[in-house]
Amino acid sequence: MPRRPCIGCKRLIPKGSLCDDCRAERDAGRVIAEPWRRLYSTGEWRDAQRRCLQRDGGQCRAAVSAGQRCPATERLQAHHRTALRDSWREYGGDWDAFVSVATVVDELVSLCPRHHAMAERNLRGAIPGR
């Protein structure tokens, strides 16, 4: 298997762009700088994500044309209609209040990776209800 250098420490790794140590260091820094990211490691989030994907019938909800949904059914992700950082600020860092709002299934939408990236870049029309 070809090996490539980690972009963090230059050690040779079999795949990806970061070795496990550099990835762990990067992720730890994100949680400190962006504490709302902790949500993704909670059981509450996993349950909300599961219920969202189930509600949407296991299909991306992005509209690709009038009345037509994106046909993607694999690697779906639950996307927050309101940015987590905004909810975190709104609740002043109150973890319990934040989690209770951030896991409301009606505020989530199932998206394929392509449409999720579009929604994260704030392209209007990428997801229904915006």
Closest to 20 in 3D by CA, of 11, 33, 31, 29: 11
pLDDT score recorded for residue 51: 98
- Give this prediction's pTM: 0.70
| pLDDT per residue as tens digits for the range 70-96 | 999 999 999 999 888 899 889 888 999
pLDDT score recorded for residue 2: 72
Q: Which residue has the higher pLDDT, 28 or 16?
A: 16
| pLDDT per residue as tens digits for the range 35-76 | 888 898 899 999 999 999 999 999 999 998 888 999 999 999
Query: Is residue 5 scored above 90 in pLDDT?
Result: no
